[in-house]
Amino acid sequence: AQKITQTQPGMFVQEKEAVTLDCTYDTSDQSYGLFWYKQPSSGEMIFLIYQGSYDEQNATEGRYSLNFQKARKSANLVISASQLGDSAMYFCAMSPIIQGAQKLVFGQGTRLTINP
């Protein structure tokens, strides 16, 4: 079984600072994907970034980067130069890679608040 652990229920950061959201995972699968999603108050889950288990380089997407440490089974999200609009719930998730299907297992989330 797969499991995602997010140990930070809430984070408070000053605008323009960088922030790291922690995520550790547990799986016996050899091939898997790691994802981060943002959920604003509207409820929609917005895809941010993806890292495959065999990708040697950390994924980056604009201000988002994923700090992937396979041996430690961690996949932390780093947001550089935070903005007020970054305030939201953030979920780490993983999925086995089976014929492209994405049966995501999510963590409990971290609520990020950006202060002006």
Partner 1 sequence: DTGVSQDPRHKITKRGQNVTFRCDPISEHNRLYWYRQTLGQGPEFLTYFQNEAQLEKSRLLSDRFSAERPKGSFSTLEIQRTEQGDSAMYLCASTPPAGELFFGEGSRLTVL
Binding residues vs partner 1 (CB under 8 A): 4, 35, 37, 42-47, 50, 91, 93, 100-109
Asked if 38 contacts 61 with a C-beta cutoff of 8 angstroms, the reply is no
Choose among 35, 27, 76: nearest CA to 52.
35
Smallest gap from residue 31 Cβ to partner 1 (A): 14
Q: Which is nearer to partner 1, 45 or 78 (CB)?
A: 45
Smallest gap from residue 15 Cβ to partner 1 (A): 26
Q: Which is nearer to partner 1, 16 or 103 (CB)?
A: 103
Query: For the purposes of burial, counting CB atoms within 10 Å of the CB of 1, is it exposed (0-12), middle (13-18) or buried (19 or more)?
Result: exposed
Smallest gap from residue 16 Cβ to partner 1 (A): 28
Q: Which is nearer to partner 1, 71 or 101 (CB)?
A: 101
Distance between CA atoms of residues 58 and 56, nearest Å: 7
